[in-house]
């Protein structure tokens, strides 16, 4: 459906630190993939798929994710989703994206080797830079529940791609206690080669998942992290470390007990002195964009454009963009 986001938020140059490639595939792109690969979907029009995408519950969210994965069959499909992702980011003036990508799932489902996936991703990234001046880096994630051998393989892929577009090793999936502990070897391998670990934690589970992430990963950033507010000692620890929290407001309203944007802890997190950024997570699945996220939070908490710009500066500062590129984007914000 058409966005009601004011143009001022669309025009604001933005950097996104927490967005999933597979979860960013819009209905238009999914329909192209389904027709190309002869995959049956619940609807055969863009309008029908948009209706199907409307968030209902977690089970439906997973159903869409599975359908998307089933439509990605070749390296050319990976290049297409990368190109169209960057088209969408450029349309809302997102100048740099640090994108979580689950290479192990694509390999396991489709048998596409990592080197072929990476070549396709790099072709898409080259297109984004040449066409839009938009840059993109990759966070290759381990999925909690996968075997340590798979995790070690993903860590090796991440290390091999470092300097060519891979920025970090990620960790997603269930936040159950000790679910990350089997991957200590993978984390150590990545860190030995200069790659940071950026885990999801404190989204659906409490502070204990964040404490575990700090212990095992020593992360510069944490995906979500909103449950830190349940533990004052954890808030102080995150402030002491300078850990950045990649907050995804609309996603949190959909997937956690938070009732509305106005009930989201983001303002309390900022007031507590935590390092916070605004992100979209899986935007078409939650009927949002990064511009919408800025607008919704600003509207809910009475922010002016100066505050929105400061949040954009924060994301820029805590990104892995080179310093010269940061200066260029910063000049546009000023």
Q: Which domains are present in the chain?
A: 95-195 (3.40.50), 196-320 (3.20.20.140)
* Model pLDDT, residue 323: 92
Percent of the chain topping pLDDT 90: 90
**Helix/strand/coil (H, E, C) string of the chain?**
CCCCCCHHHHHCCEEEEEEECHHHCCHHHHHHHHHHHCCCCCCCCHHHHHHHHCCCCHHHHHHHHHHHHHHCCCHHHHHHHHHHHHHHHHHCCEEEEEEEECHHHHHHHHCCCHHHHHHHHHHHHHHHHHHHCCEEEEEEEEEECECHHHHHHHHHHHHHHECCCEEEEEEECCCCCCCCHHHHHHHHHHHHCCCCEEEEECCCCCHHHHHHHHHHHCCCEEEECHHHHHCHHHHHHHHHHCCEEEECHHHHHHHCCCCCHHHCCHHHHHHCCCEEEECCECHHHHCCCHHHHHHHHHHHHCCCHHHHHHHHHHHHHCCCCCHHHHHHHHHHHC
Mean per-residue pLDDT over the chain, rounded: 96
Per-residue confidence at 3, pLDDT binned at 50, 70, 90?
low
Q: Tens of pLDDT along 124-163?
A: 999 999 999 999 999 999 999 999 999 999 999 999 999 9
Q: What is the mean predicted confidence (pLDDT) over 176-204?
A: 95
Q: What is the mean predicted confidence (pLDDT) over 46-56?
A: 95
Percent of the chain topping pLDDT 70: 99
* Model pLDDT, residue 109: 86
Is the confidence at residue 1, as pLDDT, over 50?
A: no
* Model pLDDT, residue 299: 98
Q: What is the mean predicted confidence (pLDDT) over 321-334?
A: 87
203 is catalytic: yes
* Model pLDDT, residue 20: 97
Of the listed 22, 84, 153, 203, which one is catalytic?
203
Q: What is the mean predicted confidence (pLDDT) over 297-313?
A: 98
Q: Tens of pLDDT along 69-95?
A: 899 999 999 999 999 999 999 999 999
* Model pLDDT, residue 236: 99
């Amino acid at each position: 459906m058409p966005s009601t986001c004011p143009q001022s938020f669309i025009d604001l140059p933005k950097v996104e630190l927490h967005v999933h490639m597979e979860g960013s595939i819009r209905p238009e792109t999914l329909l192209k993939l389904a027709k190309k690969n002869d995959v049956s979907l619940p609807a055969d029009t863009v309008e029908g798929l948009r209706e199907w995408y409307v968030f209902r519950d977690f089970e439906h969210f997973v159903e869409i994710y599975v359908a998307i994965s089933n439509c990605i069959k070749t390296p050319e499909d990976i290049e297409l989703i990368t190109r169209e992702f960057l088209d969408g980011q450029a349309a809302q003036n997102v100048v740099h994206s640090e994108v979580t990508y689950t290479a192990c799932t694509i390999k396991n489902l489709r048998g596409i080797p990592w080197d072929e996936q990476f070549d396709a991703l790099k072709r898409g990234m080259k297109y984004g830079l040449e066409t839009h001046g938009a840059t993109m880096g990759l966070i290759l994630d381990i999925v909690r529940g996968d075997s340590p051998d798979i995790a070690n393989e993903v860590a090796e892929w991440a290390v091999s791609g470092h300097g060519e577009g891979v920025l970090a090793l990620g960790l997603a999936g269930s936040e159950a206690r000790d679910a990350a502990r089997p991957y200590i070897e993978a984390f150590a391998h990545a860190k030995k080669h200069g790659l940071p670990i950026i885990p999801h934690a404190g989204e659906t589970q409490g502070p204990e998942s964040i404490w575990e992430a700090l212990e095992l990963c020593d992360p510069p950033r944490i995906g979500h992290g909103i449950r830190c507010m349940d533990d004052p000692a954890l808030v102080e620890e995150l402030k002491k470390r300078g850990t950045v929290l990649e907050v995804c407001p609309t996603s949190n309203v959909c997937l956690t007990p938070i009732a509305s944007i106005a009930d989201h802890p983001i303002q309390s997190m900022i007031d507590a002195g935590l390092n916070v950024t605004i992100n979209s997570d899986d935007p078409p699945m939650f009927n949002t964009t990064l511009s919408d996220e800025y607008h919704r939070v600003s509207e809910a908490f009475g922010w002016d454009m100066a505050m929105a710009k400061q949040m954009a500066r924060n994301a820029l500062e805590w990104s892995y963009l080179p310093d010269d590129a940061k200066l260029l984007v910063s000049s546009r914000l000023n």
